[in-house]
Structure 1
Amino acid sequence: MSQWLTLFQKEILEMWRNFKWIWVPITFILLGVSEPLTSYYLPQIVKSFGNLPDGAIFEIPKPTAGAVLASGLSQYSTIGVLVIILGTMGIIAGERKNGVAAMILVKPVSYFSYVTSKWAGSLLLVWISLFIGYISTWYYTGQLFDWVPIGEFFQSFVLYGLWLTVILTVTVFFSAALLSTGMAGFISLALALVVSILSSAFSHLLEWSPSQLTSYASALLIAGDLPDDTLPASLTTLLLIVVLLWLSVFLFKKKELAA
C-alpha cells in the first residue's frame, strides 16, 4: 500500500509540474459559467447583433433553472471530454516512449500499482475539476434564474462524474495498450463520439449504456425525477470501469514483458 501511495503522490506532483491542476479546473470553470451567463443575456445579445428591423419584436422565452443547468452540464460532454482525453492520452504511452516507465518498473514496482496510481491521480483531477466547474454553473444559475435543489445538483454531478470516469478509463486503457500518444487520444475520442451517437440514436435499446447517464442527469434537472434505468446504467458503468482498468494492467504488463 505504501508503494501505491508513493506512486500516487508522484502522479499528483507531476500534474502540478505540468500545470494540470491549474488549467484543467480553470477550463471547467469557464465552461461552467458560460451557459447561465449566455442564457441570461441572450435577449440583449440578439437585440445588439440581430439586425432586426425597426419595430420588430423578438421575444425569447426565459428558460427554467433546471434547463440552464442541464445545458451547462452538456458542455462537459463535449469540450470537457476533449480536455480529459488530451490531458491523459499520454499518461502511460508517453512514459513508455521516453523510457520513464521502464526505469520505474526496474524497481520492485507492481504493474497494478503503476497503472492504477496514474488512473487514480487523473480521476481525482477530473472529479475536482468537474465539481468546481459544475458548482459555478449551479451558483450562477441560482443568481440569475432560480435555485436548483442541492440534492438534484449532487445526483446529477455523480452521474456526470461516472460518465467522465468512463472516458478517463478508456483513455488510460488505450494509453496502456498503444505506444503512440496521438493514436491513444484519437481512438478514445472517436470511441466516445461513436458511443454517444449510437446511444442517442438507439436510446430505446441502449438504456443501460454508460453514455445515457448524461441524458438521465439532464432529465433529473428538467423533470425533477430520475428515469427508471438510471441504476442499471450506473451499475453497468461501474462494471465497465473495473473491467477496463483490469485490462489496462493486463495489456501493459504483457507489452512490457514482451519488450
Structure 2
Amino acid sequence: MNWELERKTIRKHEFSGISNLVSIEMQNWFNTKKIWFHVSLWIILLFGLVVIASMNSYTAPGAIGLYLNFVGVFGSIGIILSVQGVIIGERKTGIAAWLNSKPISRSSYIISKFFGNLLGFFISMSLIPVLLNVLYISLRDGQIFSVVRIPIFIGCLLIYLSFYLSLTILCGTLFSNRGLASGIPLSIFFAQSLLSGVFPKLALFFPNSMLSGDEGAGSILGDYFFYGTMTSYESILVSVFLTICFLAIAVLRFKADEI
C-alpha cells in the first residue's frame, strides 16, 4: 500500500525532475570538452569559411548569405549526426531505464534532451558565429547593424535548429537503429531542395527556405537582417508548429515504450 502511494506520488507531476535532468544535460555540455569542440568546429565552418570565401568579391549581404547557407547545410547535418544516438544510446546502455526508475517523468527526460542540447548548439552554431560575422562585416565594410534585428535574426536561427533537433529526437524514440534515426532527418533535409523545384509554391513552407538564397537574395532571414523586412513567415511558423508536434509525439512514444 505504501509502495503504491509512493508510486502515485512520483508520477503525479508531468514534468517532475526536469530541472535536474536539464542540469545534467548542461553539465554534459559545459563541464566537458564538448562545448569547446563544438565552438571551435562551428567557428571554423560558419565564420572561417565565410571570411575566406568573402575576402574578394562578396558584399555584406553576400557574406551573411554565405553564413546562412553554411549553417543551413552544416548546422542541420551536424545536429542530426550529433543527436542521432542520444536516446538510442541511453536506452541500450540502460541509463534511460535507470533514470526512469527515479522520481522523474518520461516527459521530463525528452524535454531535457531537447533544451539541454539546444542551448549548446545555440551558443556554438548561432550566437558566437553570428556575432563574429557581424563584427567582421562591420570592420570590413564599416556597416552598422540594427541592435533590434540581430537578436530576432538569432532567434529565427534557433527556430531552424530546433526543427532538426526535435525531429532527430523523435526518430530516436521511434527507432532503435542509428541509421534510421539519422537517415530520416537527413532525407527530409535533402528532400526539401528537390520538392522546392517540383512544387515552388510549397517552398515557402519548408524550414530550409528560411536560410536558402544566393548572396542574400531569396533568403528570408538575409533580407530581414539587412533590410528589416520579413518577406515570408510561413517557414518560421511551420517550423515552430512541427517542432512542438515532434516533441509531443516523442513524449507520447517514449511514455508507451518499455525500456
**TM-score tier (shorter):** 0.7 to 0.9
1:1-259 correspondence to structure 2 within 5 Å: 3-16=17-30, 19-42=33-56, 62-129=57-124, 130-147=126-143, 149-150=145-146, 151-199=148-196, 202-214=199-211, 215-221=219-225, 224-227=228-231, 229-230=232-233, 232-256=234-258
Q: Could you tell me how far 1:145 is from its partner in structure 2?
A: 2.7
* 2:230 partner letter: L
8 Å Cα contact 2:54/2:63 also seen in 1 = no
Q: Could you tell me how far 1:120 is from its partner in structure 2?
A: 0.7
Q: Distance in 2 between matches of 1:111 and 1:233?
A: 30
Q: Could you tell me how far 1:18 is from its partner in structure 2?
A: 5.6
Who is 2:214 aligned against?
none
Q: Distance in 1 between matches of 2:254 and 2:197?
A: 33
8 Å Cα contact 1:90/1:175 also seen in 2 = yes
Q: Distance in 1 between matches of 2:23 and 2:65?
A: 35
Identity, in percent, stands at 25
| Greater mean alpha carbon deviation, residues 245-254 or residues 217-226 | 217-226
8 Å Cα contact 1:199/1:211 also seen in 2 = no
* 1:185 partner letter: S
8 Å Cα contact 2:47/2:133 also seen in 1 = yes
Q: Could you tell me how far 1:4 is from its partner in structure 2?
A: 0.7
* SS of 1:211 mapped into structure 2: helix
How many pairs were matched up? 236
Q: Distance in 2 between matches of 1:31 and 1:138?
A: 15
| Greater mean alpha carbon deviation, residues 201-210 or residues 79-88 | 201-210
Give the structure-1-normalised TM-score.
Answer: 0.82
Q: Could you tell me how far 1:183 is from its partner in structure 2?
A: 2.5
Q: Could you tell me how far 1:117 is from its partner in structure 2?
A: 0.7
Deviations 1:202-256 (CA, angstroms, capped at 9, x unpaired)? 34233233222223112334655220x22x4322221111111000011122222
Q: Distance in 2 between matches of 1:179 and 1:14?
A: 22
RMSD over equivalenced CA pairs, Å: 2.2
Structure 1: give runs of 5+ residues left out of the alignment: 43-61
8 Å Cα contact 1:35/1:137 also seen in 2 = no
Structure 2: give runs of 5+ residues left out of the alignment: 1-14, 212-218
Runs of 4+ aligned structure 1 residues displaced above 6 Å come to none
Evaluate the alpha carbon distance shift between residue 197 and residue 171 of structure 1 in structure 2; reply closer, same or farther with a 3 A threshold: same
